Structure 1
């Protein structure tokens, strides 16, 4: 086995591109479809009948499907860095206050059904997300838009409610994807798994019991954009767990194993390399944390949340569950982004039960505090159950808490979390785009994706808007520092760890190191059977 490690330097909130892009001259490798395994599940349920609708989908797995088919005005280039035009030929702010943004579409854009793509389609698609305003909070990604106007078929101008230097990044996300009004109703979801777009691929799915068992992506002959597909066809096959996905790679049923590999699989491939399988390690911006419904009776008192912050020992957690694949996190903003600080470490340290006990006693809270920690069994990998068993044991071992844990499938867990049926729960976060704003506004602003009731006026009225004003993101460092300190004081969320990313592939597959970027975006167009050409 060859092991690759892709290292990209991180500057202020951005991943800088350091390797030159490569593209195949004929735009595809031909041959059999490249088969990619994943433990992400795509399921239509009563609570979530439209899992792939861009006005609803808000998790890394579904976004990784959407990005292959639905095109955006902008995209994050290979290696990271600032957004570049994709469906657009050019985009830019038209004022110094970063409140007006104009894009011009490429000539000859078409949806996969042959219909032309116009500026009116862009406006319709984004307005649809705003009008539906799903409780998942996905509309918050584009809610800084005040009005949109079109100038002919090829130009659209976005007028923003306030300064937003991050707006170009938001235009790279699926809720800003360009849809056809023929297939996507203005006021309701498109149920099921059909997708229509103008992106690099078209998609067909095979279903069993309203669950995707295979998604086949075929190169879209109508695509005009910035990326150059290195293959003609790719399949995504969901597996129930990492073990069954690993067995499929070993047997040759799949060519690539993506998220989420288990820690045991990564460790085994490192310690017992195989000649025909290559493990690639890539930088990651994924974080894991505990979230709290700050109005729920069991955790409403800030002292309870602070005592949990004192008690949990991140180092022990990582050593027991994620050795080598994660590192402790003491802020919502990961350490690989330069605005990161360590306020949770500075205030609480790790495993300080004496201070936790003193705090609860001073607050007049009777111990042990009885509480259920909820987690999803099938969304973040097989190690999640062991992680929550460890957290339970740490908290109960302090004698200050009486913790039970409950695991639920993602298709049930996520709707319950959005409806605030959990007082305390575990979640992961893959950034919407590589900027510190996605780790702050997404959690703390009005309409946040967790439906969190936590509302700190200083954050929402002053600091969050201020943090978005600075086009030079380094100028916002002080503001982000204050935001992180307030979160550590109030503990509406309790950060636990940030992780690395790994992909395993058969050695005949190239482009693997580019197929997943630091934000966990899957770029199927980078994969090729055989050598790539620059």
Structure 2
């Protein structure tokens, strides 16, 4: 069979029905043994991160992809995208016209995997716990609009919000809002190690060595009751140190499927080679950007950041490093989302050294400006180094900058970035949910994900709250566009590119069309054994 690329446009899911079924059924195929999935995501227990799988703390696409299989949420993103639908809940909705009171009713008969009954009190406990722990990693910001949580009987949960928040149903799909068992999770401290207990479609058995997860075994949860149809009995997730080793394992038949992060060279090779492996391509919402510590002396002047935005050539960056696997991005908000605007292109146009020099001259900045760009060596894929080498060349060739680059492992990079140790650093973002708010508030609001000192009162006090009042997201476009224009002017970040998503899968595995959603969520329950197209 020819090795082929299956291109799945975003609309594929909109044409398919949302599956609704009680979990725990015997549908699907598990007769072929565990489906083995490879990833380059790394999971480690360390002094800086002693609880990598606690929903109250973890805020990373890799760890969330473990939690989404095991910890159930009230709402979930539907198969094929669209507005959130009930999962652990039977129904949810705003009960006022101001989007400040949100009520959910639990499904009857919900149980944790160990057999304990789930009640509204457990949901309240889980939300209150995350708010109380207030982990510095920033995930609790997703619950920032929650004022109080009230229960009524065993099945009704009432969320009283501080301000209007039309995006709140999306936030209830994220692991920080996951339902945990009070018997296993203390109210005021994190649960260390790789143990997870919940009521999701799978239970987890973690195999570790020297504080590192070497295999995550997901076994179908017989107590699961929700909206998902589980099409297999067991899936194994195996982390690999790099994309090349993961690719070798796929070629040998040691794994059935590989996901993030494949290298650009691998993707190119897979798209043309013959064999029994298919390359599945789909649209995605992953973005990459440069972030600034706006208090750092080298970049505290807005003119320096503006000059960098004026010099960087996104088209060259994408074509020479990522090819057709990415496209230039001129805002934090991806091009496919309601509210996107090309704010940086509108402000700076094509790259221009002359315009950059004029910006620095007007601000009396002495050139060349000396600074270091930091990037992580083991979190966003092997092409990151090449990307930063090209950024360095672009900036230095202008004669306006004297730039060095430094690669740092993620386990060191992330805490250092949050502590403000880096003046300029490269980051990626995989959205918590597919709404423009989730590409703006996490970077610009109080207690933001980056720990950035940048604060704009109009954005925080007016524009973000205004946008959240609009249940019809088209009505929020004016506020969202104003935010993006301010970001382009102040440049606390520089958006670089928006990527596509890929899976490489052996022909006897089915369900890959829905194995990833636009937020890069692994939906392992979709996979089965059989003969693919």
TM-score between the two structures when normalised by the length of structure 1: 0.97
Q: Give the conservation status (yes or no) of the 8 Å contact 1:314–1:350.
A: no
Instruction: Name the CA distance, whole Å, in 2 between partners of 1:289 and 1:350.
Output: 18
The 1:57/1:423 distance shift into structure 2, 3 A limit, reads same
Partner of 2:106: 105
Partner of 1:346: 346
- Consecutive unaligned residues of structure 1, counting only runs of 5 or more, are 10-14
Matches within 5 A, 1:384-395: 384-395=384-395
Matches within 5 A, 1:249-268: 249-268=250-269
Instruction: Name the count of aligned residue pairs.
Output: 526
SS in 2 for 1:20: coil
Q: CA deviation at 1:410?
A: 1.0
Q: CA deviation at 1:27?
A: 2.7
SS in 1 for 2:93: strand
Q: Deviations over 1:360-415 (max 9, x none)?
A: 11111111111111111111111111101110111111111111111111111111
Q: CA deviation at 1:17?
A: 2.3
Partner of 2:69: 68
1:19 matched to 2:16: yes
1:3 matched to 2:43: no
Q: Give the conservation status (yes or no) of the 8 Å contact 1:64–1:521.
A: yes
Partner of 1:370: 370
Q: Give the conservation status (yes or no) of the 8 Å contact 1:3–1:278.
A: yes
Partner of 1:149: 150
Q: Deviations over 1:217-255 (max 9, x none)?
A: 000011000001100000000011111111110000000
Instruction: Name the CA distance, whole Å, in 1 between partners of 2:103 and 2:531.
Output: 39
SS in 1 for 2:373: strand
Q: CA deviation at 1:26?
A: 2.8
Q: Deviations over 1:241-275 (max 9, x none)?
A: 11111111000000001001111011111122x23
SS in 2 for 1:323: helix
Q: Give the conservation status (yes or no) of the 8 Å contact 1:296–1:423.
A: yes
Partner of 1:278: 278
The 1:116/1:65 distance shift into structure 2, 3 A limit, reads same
Partner of 2:334: 334
SS in 1 for 2:280: strand
Q: Deviations over 1:45-85 (max 9, x none)?
A: 11111111111110100100100000000000111001000
Q: Give the conservation status (yes or no) of the 8 Å contact 2:61–2:521.
A: yes
Partner of 1:236: 237
Instruction: Name the CA distance, whole Å, in 1 between partners of 2:482 and 2:30.
Output: 52
Partner of 2:438: 438
Q: CA deviation at 1:489?
A: 0.2
Q: Deviations over 1:483-506 (max 9, x none)?
A: 110000000010000000010000
- Consecutive unaligned residues of structure 2, counting only runs of 5 or more, are none
SS in 2 for 1:322: helix
Q: CA deviation at 1:23?
A: 8.1
The 1:23/1:446 distance shift into structure 2, 3 A limit, reads closer
Instruction: Name the CA distance, whole Å, in 2 between partners of 1:328 and 1:16.
Output: 25
Instruction: Name the CA distance, whole Å, in 2 between partners of 1:358 and 1:512.
Output: 51
Instruction: Name the CA distance, whole Å, in 1 between partners of 2:430 and 2:6.
Output: 22
Q: Give the conservation status (yes or no) of the 8 Å contact 1:276–1:506.
A: yes
Q: Give the conservation status (yes or no) of the 8 Å contact 2:19–2:79.
A: no
SS in 1 for 2:10: coil
